[in-house]
Amino acid sequence: MSLPASSHNSPTDLDIEKAAHINSLNTSHTSSSTAIHHPDASEPQLVVEDHQNPRNWPNRRRWTVTIVVSFFTFMSPVASSISSPSLSAISADLNISSGSVLENMTLSIFVLAYAIGFLVFNTVCGFAKTPTQLLVFRFLAGFGGAASQSISGAIVGDMWSPDERAIAMSLYSIAPLVGPSTGPLVGGWIAEKSNWHWVFWSVSIADAILQIAAFLFLRETYAPELLRRKARSARKLTGNPKLCSAFEDTNHSWTTVMGREPAVQVFALYMAVLHGVLYLTLTTFVKVFTLQYGEGPGIAGIHYLAIALGSTVGGQVAARVLTRVYLHLKAKNRGIGVPEMSIEFKGANWTCIQTYLVDSYAIHTASAIGGVSSFRAFAGFGFPLFADEVYQLGDGAWGNSILALICLVIGCPAPFVFYRYGARLRARSRGSSVE
């Protein structure tokens, strides 16, 4: 489906992408002053020879940006879960009833803010003196942590072509899984050796370092924005106000995408359930090993290492297999790749979901991932609120069995369903644009 046309639609308006395309056909090179163009409405790329095209950046630069944005995506869930081993200490200091909804909410309310200044408010959490103060500061801290959950995936998609994307996406996509399990692992030892206040302050220190790296290495990668800047520059240089970009005055917010894109809606519901189960587990993990087995917060936090290692190893192996599968299927399809090829390898799970959204929505990736992340956030907030009730069933045995059954029923058939019906869902999506 074609992308929205520019609002500058009079016969005398000049689309700089089309003009540059004609020029590039008649010249063997593209100078820095040549306007960036969009050669095909279904392929939102800058002109192939243009040095501003993020996909033409040197590999070292692309990997540096990928690593930085992946760490941003990693730090946010770390901050959301790092207080898990300290819940008992926090409850004791702030007079919160053990096992209450309020106690669990001190962990999960951070995730709620994803949907609705990370550095400042996360630091202020360490100074909280009442439960109300802690809940408010944690909620506000989540606002700053939310951006990386949707923008980072889009940045990776901007820089890497579909043939190269799987490995880069594997680095990015394991962050939301490894982060929640790494947080309690580190937070347990911090709480045991110091106090729960330093659990929050340590995250702020790490985030401050990451902010410096972002200032040094991150640059604009969004093709339509680069085209709009080129158009503004061309208007100033030529004095011709008619020069425009085909992408000016477009509106694809995450709420718009969620409201009218069936593919995003289905993926959002799928990821919401899995993410909710993950955060429910994170809330109760330490309690099980401290209360039932008498372990300290530091030792109890080590059990989260299993989730982190499984996500890391599984993600990297899946990415490499996914790349081979994608290239093989693309070759069989006469060199034409489609997003469903990313789901053919069912073991890739979250990696293939992220890759599918990037492949399907191209320049609208941030909005698509933002919609999915919002649903995940609501589930990540809501599920832990009934965590204690679930784990009271059979001393936790039945609770774990129920969670495993939910993941089995929803998680296993989902990739097969998406692979079979994905093309139909995309056909009903007005914002889908396959690269």
Query: Alpha-carbon distance 57 to 217, whole Å?
Result: 13
Residue 13 within a domain? no
Looking at residue 34, its pLDDT comes to 32
Q: Which residues pair with 244 in a beta bridge?
A: 15
Looking at residue 7, its pLDDT comes to 35
Listed in order, strand segments (DSSP E) in 123-279 are 243-244
H or E stretch covering 384: none
Residue 48 within a domain? no
Pick the closest to residue 183 from 110, 99, 236 (CA basis): 110
Looking at residue 81, its pLDDT comes to 75
Task: Per-residue pLDDT tens, the chain, 435 aa: give them.
Answer: 322 333 333 333 444 444 444 333 333 333 333 333 333 333 333 444 566 778 888 889 999 988 888 888 788 778 777 777 777 788 888 888 776 777 777 777 776 666 555 556 667 777 778 888 778 777 776 666 666 666 777 788 788 877 777 778 777 777 777 777 777 778 778 877 878 788 888 888 888 888 888 888 888 887 777 777 777 777 788 877 766 665 554 556 666 777 777 778 888 888 888 888 887 877 777 777 877 778 777 787 777 778 778 777 777 777 777 778 778 888 888 887 777 776 655 444 555 666 777 777 766 776 777 777 778 778 877 888 877 777 776 566 677 788 788 878 877 777 777 777 777 877 777 656 555
CB atoms within 10 A of CB 75: 24
Looking at residue 348, its pLDDT comes to 47
**Cβ(21)–Cβ(39) below 8 Å:** yes
Domain range for 265 is 54-220+250-427
Query: Alpha-carbon distance 286 to 297, whole Å?
Result: 7
Looking at residue 245, its pLDDT comes to 60
Burial of 237 (0-12, 13-18, 19+ CB in 10 A): exposed
Q: Which residues pair with 15 in a beta bridge?
A: 244
Pick the closest to residue 419 from 341, 323, 361, 310 (CA basis): 341
**Cβ(262)–Cβ(368) below 8 Å:** no
**Cβ(316)–Cβ(172) below 8 Å:** no
- CATH number, domain with residue 406: 1.20.1250.20
Looking at residue 49, its pLDDT comes to 53
Residue 234 within a domain? no
H or E stretch covering 318: helix 305-332
Residue 245 within a domain? no
| Side-chain half-sphere exposure of 74, counting CA atoms within 13 A | 19
Residue 406 within a domain? yes
CB atoms within 10 A of CB 56: 15
Residue 66 within a domain? yes
Residue ranges in 45-126 assigned as alpha helix (H): 59-81, 87-94, 101-115, 118-125
Looking at residue 401, its pLDDT comes to 80
Residue 12 within a domain? no
Cβ within 8 Å of residue 218, ≥6 positions away: 65, 68, 69, 155
Which tokens go with 343?
A: 């789901």
Crossing angle of helices 16-26 and 223-238, in 10° steps, is 90
Separation of first and last alpha carbons in the chain: 11
Query: Alpha-carbon distance 88 to 107, whole Å?
Result: 12
Would you call 382 helix, strand, or coil by DSSP?
helix
Looking at residue 21, its pLDDT comes to 41
Looking at residue 25, its pLDDT comes to 32
Residue 58 within a domain? yes
Number of domains in the chain: 1
